[in-house]
Structure 1
Amino acid sequence: MQTKREPNARLAEWLARAGLSNGELARRIKAAAQQAGHPQVAPDATAVRRWLKGNKPRRPIPGIIADVISDAVGYRVTSYELGLGESPAEDRSLLYNRSWVVTVETVSDLGRADVDRRRFLAAAPFAAVAATGPSRDWLLNVLDQEPEPGPRVRLEDVTAVRNMFGAFQRMDIFQGGGSGRLLLAQYMNVHVYPLLRRPQPDDVRRALCEAAAEQTYLLGWMAYDSGEHGTAQRYLIQSLRLAEESQNVPLGAHVLAGMADQATLLGHPEEGLRLAQSGRQGLRGTSAAALADLWALEARALAVMGDKTAATRAVAQSETAAETIDHEREPEWALFIDPAYLHGEHAMTLRDTGDHAGAAEHARRSIDHARAQQRARRGALSQAALAASHLQRGDLEQAHAAGLRTLALAGQVKSSRTIEAISDLQQRMQPYGQNRLVADFAERARVLTVAA
């Protein structure tokens, strides 16, 4: 005997709240599915009516519905809240859960899914609205719940975790995010996330959460650098929750900086600006390096938004903060916030505002520092910014030369950001048509991108 299905009142309520008709929901689901690589998902209004009557759509449709409705209402809604079943790992990891127990299970599930290279995680899209709740809750600094019982964690365990961070961070800086991420994820799954389930004295717990937050952020950053933005976003949100538990405000602000960088890169500069400003508001001057970074990322967002005056002012604020950085007093995660990095970010900001002279000056200073440190990824990004500044003043020959240096450095690292910078440079060369230098750069870029 067939069980009678109950109408999905939750889905109907959220549709009404989002102001979406059955047909409009179907249209948006189809568009989102196409963008996420699911061309077979093409529902119509009839399919939506069936869901409202109680039929459960198959994966990946529940997650896509959650993304569409989240975009419509302006904050994250899960498939569970829509009456479509339990939220899968990729959905749960977008949420900033106030429960410590749920947070531990969520970040553990995320790490396992990443190591297993599960297709649903690799295809998980970036959700612009997902950062609204986490940044707000981090500022409110709400803590709760105790972990499950078990053998106690010692400070020696935390020290062992901390000792690994520097090695993985250096791997990212010098070889790119694609080099060591899965190795780091495996280490976290086996050695770090299990510790979070065990009880600790308050001081040990804060230290452990801080160390776990640092490395979870690094996982997110490596995924970001590899172009896996859905995975990166999920790691960053969970890192922010761990940072809150550690009560380390500069670390939380640092995570928000990473989230701001990603949002701006993916075409959401308003969200990037809000995240950077949230980080500054919470920071309250406790880390000059974090403050310089947040101002730099605020400038990047403002430049993309077309506010040249505010972007230039933010660059100046970043430079002022950078003058007071003392790396002897800064945490290890802040070591990359140095002249090579900051001048490189300022070069891209001024490039986007149209200040080609300022962009070239900052790019050259970044390149000099990156060369001295043998940081190929940062050097490649800054060489690309220098090439763009040459194009802005009409010097194709100098742009071509800087472009070739970009290619040489990009070939030394596994980083999708360097490949994206090369693609951006190719687009900027298009107005020069069939010029031999454009053709030469395009062919050399093609060889590199195929190999990558």
Structure 2
Amino acid sequence: MLGAGLYSATLAVPRFEDVAGRTEAVPAGRTVRIGMSDVATVRTMTAKIADILDELGGGHARPMAAAFLVHTVGPYLRADGSEAARKAIRAAASDLVYLTGWMAMYEREHGTGQQYYLRALTLAADAEDHLTYSRTLRGMALQASNLGHGNKALALADSAAEAAPAAGPRLVAFLRGQQAHGAAMVKDRRQAFSRLRETEAALSRAEGRNDTVGGYDRSAFEFHVSHVKWELGDRAGSVQALRRSNRYRPDGERQGRVHGTGLLATRLLAMRHVEESCEVWDDFLEDYAGVASARGDEHFATLENGLRPYRRLPVVRALSDRARAVGRRKTA
């Protein structure tokens, strides 16, 4: 479905009109004929995989997504069917490809994640699905920010906002929050806080159930607040926002909680609040033991290495003993 490669920070920001129509050359006429029930199958599987991701981590969910893409979605995309069904299957596929790219990014396989994102853009454009297109660009902005490419992160976030002129308030909040993070990375304080205000205002207007894929809620907003404040030097404010984010996070989002508590403990440690950091690391270990996540593994390594200068403290010795036990269970 896609070729292996390295992440490219110089990739031009894709435009909707530039990628639309790229899947028209995919040959139809295969033995399978698709209908709207097949579209529903893809949507249902995407939701189930997203649930597994939240509960058990990308290490378990992504292989399932990749296998389903190869063995089921790929043949659907090559199948005959009405124009409405073919457009709908591309839209459904773009959601799943976006989610798979997000998982690859989260598992630190950035070149693969970028290729998934590009494929999701093509499918969304062919389906005339501006919302998934803009959401995918936002995912690419997040990836760029994770890798420290501030200017690229802001450019992608701005492009994502421009690509969704008819977005509802929840997606608007999603996009403005990413713009705020990108602006903070390039030290544009005025724009960053202006975007945060727009994010909070949009989120206050959001109604109904949060999206299964690419959703945005109060926890995500506070996470963006935390990033903005950290980038702009307000460490205490960043930690307070991250604590709020962790309190707002739904109980079922265990992978997100692993990242949130790991990041909070890391930031507390960077501020030399060692005992507070140990308390949060203890919460981190509770969830990390049951989640397969490369980012969780990264936080675990930070726990082991970051606490070594403080190993004479009783609280650090106790935490280190527990961490070793968790590590042995995960590698057994």
Q: Which of these two proteins has the greater Rg computed from alpha carbons?
A: 1
Partner of 2:205: 324
SS of aligned partner of 2:15: helix
Q: TM-score, normalising length from structure 1?
A: 0.64
Aligned pairs for 1:78-227 (under 5 A) are 107=1, 110=2, 121=4, 124-130=5-11, 132=12, 135-138=13-16, 140=18, 142-143=20-21, 145=24, 147-150=26-29, 151-227=32-108
| Aligned 8 A contact 1:139 1:282 in 2 | no
Partner of 1:346: 225
| Aligned 8 A contact 1:299 1:310 in 2 | yes
SS of aligned partner of 1:283: coil
SS of aligned partner of 2:10: helix
- 1-structure distance, mates of 2:191, 2:305: 27
**Does residue 106 of structure 2 align to residue 228 of structure 1?**
no
| Structure 1 residue 424 displacement after superposition | 5.2
Pairwise CA RMSD of aligned residues?
2.9
- 2-structure distance, mates of 1:447, 1:142: 52
**Does residue 167 of structure 2 align to residue 289 of structure 1?**
no
| Aligned 8 A contact 1:138 1:252 in 2 | yes
| Aligned 8 A contact 2:19 2:122 in 1 | no
| Structure 1 residue 245 displacement after superposition | 0.8
The aligned amino acid for 1:215 is L
SS of aligned partner of 1:136: coil
- 1-structure distance, mates of 2:175, 2:105: 18
Q: TM-score, normalising length from structure 2?
A: 0.85
Report which structure shows greater RCO (CA 8 Å, sep ≥6): 2
Q: How high is the sequence identity, in percent, across the aligned residues?
A: 25
Partner of 2:246: 367
- 2-structure distance, mates of 1:448, 1:301: 36
Aligned length: 326
Partner of 2:259: 381
- 2-structure distance, mates of 1:186, 1:390: 40
- 2-structure distance, mates of 1:181, 1:347: 28
Identify unmatched segments of 5+ residues in structure 2.
none
Question: What are the superposed Cα offsets for residues 17-52 of structure 1, whole Å, 9 maximum, x if unpaired?
Answer: xxxxxxxxxxxxxxxxxxxxxxxxxxxxxxxxxxxx
| Structure 1 residue 353 displacement after superposition | 2.5
The worse-fitting range, judged by mean Cα deviation, of 264-273 and 248-257 is 264-273
- 2-structure distance, mates of 1:273, 1:231: 21
- 1-structure distance, mates of 2:279, 2:177: 27
Question: What are the superposed Cα offsets for residues 85-127 of structure 1, whole Å, 9 maximum, x if unpaired?
Answer: xxxxxxxxxxxxxxxxxxxxxx3xx3xx7xxxxxxx4xx3222
**Inter-CA distance 322–427: structure 2 relative to 1 (3 Å threshold):** farther
**Does residue 282 of structure 2 align to residue 404 of structure 1?**
yes
| Aligned 8 A contact 2:266 2:277 in 1 | yes
SS of aligned partner of 2:66: helix
Question: What are the superposed Cα offsets for residues 344-385 of structure 1, whole Å, 9 maximum, x if unpaired?
Answer: 333233233232343233222222232x52322222222234
- 1-structure distance, mates of 2:179, 2:303: 23
Partner of 1:44: none
| Structure 1 residue 413 displacement after superposition | 1.1
**Inter-CA distance 443–361: structure 2 relative to 1 (3 Å threshold):** same
Partner of 2:213: 333
| Structure 1 residue 446 displacement after superposition | 6.1
| Aligned 8 A contact 2:49 2:64 in 1 | no
**Does residue 121 of structure 2 align to residue 240 of structure 1?**
yes
- 2-structure distance, mates of 1:310, 1:446: 44
- 2-structure distance, mates of 1:259, 1:167: 23
| Aligned 8 A contact 2:9 2:144 in 1 | yes
| Aligned 8 A contact 2:20 2:122 in 1 | no
**Inter-CA distance 187–421: structure 2 relative to 1 (3 Å threshold):** same
| Structure 1 residue 323 displacement after superposition | 1.4
The worse-fitting range, judged by mean Cα deviation, of 170-179 and 440-449 is 440-449
